């Protein structure tokens, strides 16, 4: 099967390409990239004139909820949401039921992804058995089964000794450790950022320090062990400061940020709308600005959705009782492009954080448009404006605070392994 993408603006940060080019795809791989490729017979041609052609986007932080919470999301619906959002590869966290802490669960996820998924799905294995933070999971076997990283995700490893061993043990398998940095004693019962608005609203706050003490601890342990540390969804200025300093000292640490922490602040919680309840919580404007600066100066490597689907009944309750998290697969790209339109970061920098940087972190050998590479490609209309409508989301859950927002930049086509898995033209 062949596919020809004509006259698109090919932007590939990895190869420093930014030019109008044609791309020929053959048997799922990129066959040639040239100025003027002639369409031979029987080749499907995509006219990408005026469109942006980038490596397929990669999301290093999603929750697909299967097995166990299929009423929130499934691998099928999650992958469809990913495709609609321009993602060709997604990485799913292990907090399923049962927890993905052993080969059989990983095998199930990989099989479901193969049979029902429409994008590449890479599981993250739990770092400890049952995400309990006590005993190491069988990380070697998990790696053989296909996990690309380990993490205890939303149940951070509170025991520093255990975290040390995780960082040490994963080294021999060349697996990064993804850390959700939160001191559970400091954050206990908290539901929003601790600050002026938590005082105003009477809600229990989560101090910035709850994140920062763990960022500092994990960096110290990464220094001790020479392990590979990736810090998930950072939300504070202080975390950035620690990470920046650690990078300068040569410690192997990377980090990600979510579009919502780059876009929203705690002020949005004023009406107790549970779609703004997330963990880490939305912080202050000062922190948001620091995160934008971190993107600009390169301290932040990756933008990730932290796609966290929840059924309506777990959000339509008292604020204290509502689940944490929002979905993000279908809004991450336009929210990132908003930063480009507002000149916070360049287009190239934005795309790098959604393609080659995630690929490098997880050794996926993707995230770049090059001859012989997997034909994972996203075609974007940069200037087109669209109103976000949660009713049109592919995701099974609709918990997004961005409903009704008008955002510029829409996905035209998503191509995975040479196959078009999302086509805006066919969108209902």
Partner 1 sequence: MKRKHLLGIQGLDKKEILFILDTAESFREISKREIKKVPTLRGKTLINFFYEPSTRTRTSFEIAGKRLSADVINLSASGSSLVKGETLKDMAKNLEAMNPDILVIRHPCPGTPLFLANIMDCSIINAGDGACEHPTQALLDLFTIREKRGRLEGLKVAIIGDISHSRVARSNFHAMLKLGMKVSIAAPSTMIPPYLERFGVKVFNFMEEAIKDADVIMMLRIQLERQTNNLFPSIREYSRFFCLNPERLKMAKEDVLIMHPGPLNRGVEIDPEVADGPYSIILNQVSNGVAVRMAILYLLSGRSDDDAID
- Quickly count: other Cβ atoms within 10 Å of residue 50's Cβ: 12
Interaction of residue 327 with partner 1, rule CB under 8 A: no
Would you call 101 exposed, middle or buried from its count of C-beta atoms within 10 A (0-12, 13-18, 19+)?
buried
Interaction of residue 313 with partner 1, rule CB under 8 A: yes
In the numeric block, which tokens belong to residue 266?
Answer: 């705690």
Among residues 248 and 318, whose Cβ is nearest to partner 1?
318
Interaction of residue 184 with partner 1, rule CB under 8 A: no
The count of chain residues that interact with partner 1, using the rule CB under 8 A, is: 19
Among residues 202 and 372, whose Cβ is nearest to partner 1?
202
Give 423's strand partners: 413
Contact assessment for residue 123 and residue 111, using Cβ atoms and an 8 Å cutoff: no
Interaction of residue 426 with partner 1, rule CB under 8 A: no
Among residues 22 and 194, whose Cβ is nearest to partner 1?
194
100: part of which helix (H) or strand (E)?
Answer: none
Q: Which of 27, 316, 383, 385 lies at the binding interface for partner 1 (CB under 8 A)?
A: 316
Q: How far is the CB of 358 from partner 1 (least distance, A)?
A: 36
Q: How far is the CB of 265 from partner 1 (least distance, A)?
A: 14
Among residues 161 and 271, whose Cβ is nearest to partner 1?
271
Q: How far is the CB of 403 from partner 1 (least distance, A)?
A: 16
Question: End-to-end distance of the chain based on CA atoms, in angstroms?
Answer: 26
Cα separation of 352 and 297, whole Å? 13
Residue of 22, 301, 306, 376 with catalytic role: 306
Among residues 32 and 199, whose Cβ is nearest to partner 1?
199
Q: Which residues, in sequence order, are CB contacts of 223 under 8 Å at separation 6+?
A: 246, 249, 251
Q: Which of 268, 319, 324, 405 lies at the binding interface for partner 1 (CB under 8 A)?
A: 319
**Active-site residue 27, yes or no?**
no
Interaction of residue 71 with partner 1, rule CB under 8 A: no
> What does each C-alpha distance from 260 to 171, 182, 331 come to in angstroms?
32, 18, 9
The number of CA neighbours under 13 Å toward the Cβ of 301 is 21
Residues at the contact surface with partner 1, assessed by CB under 8 A: 194-196, 198-203, 205, 271-272, 313, 316-321
- Which residues are designated catalytic? 306
């Amino acid at each position: 099967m062949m596919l020809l993408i004509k006259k698109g603006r090919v932007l590939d940060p990895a190869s420093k390409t930014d030019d109008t080019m044609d791309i020929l795809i053959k048997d799922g791989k990129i066959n040639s990239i040239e100025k003027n490729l002639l369409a031979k017979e029987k080749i499907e041609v995509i006219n990408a004139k005026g469109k942006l052609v980038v490596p397929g986007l990669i999301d290093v932080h999603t929750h697909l909820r299967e097995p166990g919470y299929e009423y929130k999301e499934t691998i099928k619906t999650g992958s469809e949401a990913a495709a609609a959002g321009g993602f060709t590869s997604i990485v799913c966290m292990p907090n399923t039921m049962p927890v993905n802490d052993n080969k059989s669960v990983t095998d199930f996820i990989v099989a479901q992804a193969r049979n029902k998924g429409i994008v590449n799905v890479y599981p993250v294995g739990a770092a400890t058995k049952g995400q309990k933070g006590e005993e190491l999971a069988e990380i070697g076997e998990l790696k053989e089964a296909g996990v690309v990283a380990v993490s205890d995700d939303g149940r951070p490893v509170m025991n520093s000794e255990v975290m040390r061993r995780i960082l040490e043990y994963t080294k021999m398998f060349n697996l990064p450790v993804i850390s959700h940095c939160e001191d559970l004693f400091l954050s206990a019962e908290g539901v929003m950022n601790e600050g002026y608005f938590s005082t105003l609203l009477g809600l229990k706050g989560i101090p910035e320090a709850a994140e920062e003490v763990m960022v500092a601890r994990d960096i110290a342990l990464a220094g001790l062990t020479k392990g590979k540390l990736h810090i998930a969804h950072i939300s504070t200025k202080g975390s950035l400061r620690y990470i920046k300093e650690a990078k300068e000292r040569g410690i192997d640490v990377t980090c990600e940020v979510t579009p919502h922490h780059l876009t929203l602040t705690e002020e949005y919680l004023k009406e107790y709308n549970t779609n703004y309840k997330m963990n880490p919580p939305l912080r202050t404007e000062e922190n948001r600005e620091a995160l934008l600066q971190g993107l600009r100066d390169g301290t932040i490597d990756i933008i990730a959705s932290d796609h966290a689907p929840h059924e309506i009944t777990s959000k339509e309750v008292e604020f204290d009782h509502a689940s944490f998290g929002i979905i993000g697969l279908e809004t991450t790209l336009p929210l990132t492009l908003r930063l480009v339109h507002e000149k916070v970061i360049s287009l190239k920098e934005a795309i790098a954080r959604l393609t080659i940087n995630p690929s490098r972190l997880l050794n996926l050998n993707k995230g770049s448009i090059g001859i012989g590479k997997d034909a994972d490609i996203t075609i974007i209309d940069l200037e087109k404006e669209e109103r976000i409508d949660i009713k049109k989301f592919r995701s099974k859950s609709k918990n997004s605070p961005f409903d009704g927002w008008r955002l510029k930049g829409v996905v035209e086509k998503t191509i995975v392994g040479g196959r078009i898995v999302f086509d805006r033209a066919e969108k209902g």
